[in-house]
């Protein structure tokens, strides 16, 4: 299969490359310079997805079977002060990708976020629950979803949450770095979600886009919205305690109000992987088990 990955230099993009490189023809796009390790193995092209004309030319030149669209502006607080940039990348950039895929009947897989929900439901969100994004980041990502829904016929929208992986900055590395400098760390305890290992998410996506090709007459059976996360849930405080277990560093709970971040986060954004279960597939492993493997990997 010819697979084009946008945002290929990002944390999740790098794990997708690792998981999908065997048995598939990969093409990598990113606005950032590519490291030698990628450019020497794969076809790599610099691309700013906010440029509609260039996006159209590059994607059509490759003529992929599927585009996996991971490119995004993911600095949640940064989006609050860079509103136009957030909507340009996450909204219009996604529109440019969706339009190109639609014109050439190419499948599109879009990575979205648990933050499209307001967190007021009090129980896990299923794929059919109505989004109500609160922050600029969440609104811009949901705008991307709306573009795909209206412009594309052959798509997967994958909502995931609290991603951590070896190829980028994430909550785990932030906590580990703070633990080198401090004996006490304050972490919010009133935001609940499901930490998700990027490698596990990449494997799940490989299963999703591969399974539908087992029967070529039913290619469209798995299109639509999916929630895919590791199993289990916790607060950021509980997540931090698990990361630093046995380190001797004291983790203290604080409220979101006291932390006073620029962007509003949902209080409870756990995603119910309902469609995944209906499909009869095994749930992804518990986030604690995934975290153990990740800590071994980075050490």
Per-residue pLDDT of 268-288, as tens digits, reads 999 999 999 999 999 999 999
Strand, coil or helix: 95: helix
Could you tell me which residues come within 8 angstroms of residue 112 by beta carbon, excluding any fewer than 6 positions away? 141, 142, 144, 145, 157, 158, 159, 160
Q: Residue 23's pLDDT is what?
A: 85
Q: Is the confidence at residue 213, as pLDDT, over 60?
A: no
Calpha distance 68→66 (Å, rounded): 6
Residue 34 has phi, psi (to 5 degrees) of -85, 135
Question: What is the bridge-based pairing of β-strands 234-235 and 192-193?
Answer: antiparallel
Helix (H, G, I), strand (E, B) or coil at 138: helix
* Mean pLDDT within 8-31: 95
Output the average pLDDT for the chain: 95
- The DSSP code sequence of 218-283 is GTTTT-EEEE---B--EEHHHHHHHHTTTS--EEEEE-HHHH--SS---SB-PBP-HHHHHTTPPP
Specify the pLDDT at position 217.
46
**Could you give the CA distance from residue 156 to residue 102 in angstroms, rounded to a whole number?**
13
Which residues are known catalytic residues?
A: 137
Model pLDDT for residues 131-163, shown as the tens digit of each residue? 999 999 999 999 999 999 999 999 999 999 999
Grouping H, G, I as helix, E, B as strand and the rest as coil, residue 164 is strand
Q: Which of the four pLDDT bands, split at 50, 70 and 90, describes residue 216? A: very low
Task: Note the pLDDT of residue 77.
Answer: 97
Residue given tokens 């922050």 in the structure block: 135
């Amino acid at each position: 299969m010819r697979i084009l990955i946008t945002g290929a230099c990002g944390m999740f993009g790098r794990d997708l490359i690792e998981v999908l490189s065997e048995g598939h023809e990969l093409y990598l796009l990113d606005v950032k310079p590519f490291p030698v390790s990628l450019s020497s193995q794969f076809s790599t092209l610099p691309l700013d997805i906010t440029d509609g004309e260039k996006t159209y030319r590059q994607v059509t030149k490759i003529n992929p079977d599927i585009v996996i669209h991971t490119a995004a502006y993911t600095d949640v607080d940064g989006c609050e002060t860079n509103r136009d940039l957030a909507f340009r990348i996450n909204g219009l950039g996604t529109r440019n990708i969706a339009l190109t895929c639609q014109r050439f009947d190419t499948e599109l897989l879009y990575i979205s976020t648990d933050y499209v929900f307001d967190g007021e439901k009090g129980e896990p969100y299923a794929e059919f629950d109505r989004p109500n994004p609160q922050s600029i980041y969440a609104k811009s990502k949901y705008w991307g979803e709306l573009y795909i829904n209206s412009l594309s016929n052959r798509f997967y929208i994958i909502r995931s949450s609290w991603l951590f992986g070896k190829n980028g900055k994430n909550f785990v590395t932030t906590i580990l770095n703070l633990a080198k400098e401090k004996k006490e760390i304050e972490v919010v305890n009133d935001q609940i979600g499901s930490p998700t290992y990027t490698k596990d998410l990449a494997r799940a996506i490989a299963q999703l886009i591969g399974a539908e090709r087992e029967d070529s007459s039913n290619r469209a059976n798995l299109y639509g919205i999916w929630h895919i996360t590791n199993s289990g849930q916790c607060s950021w405080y509980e997540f931090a305690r698990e990361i630093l277990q046995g380190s001797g560093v004291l983790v203290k709970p604080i409220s979101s109000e006291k932390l006073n971040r620029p962007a509003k986060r949902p209080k409870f954004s756990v995603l119910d992987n309902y469609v995944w279960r209906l499909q009869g597939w095994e749930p992804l492993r518990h986030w604690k088990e995934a975290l153990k493997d990740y800590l071994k990997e980075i050490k």
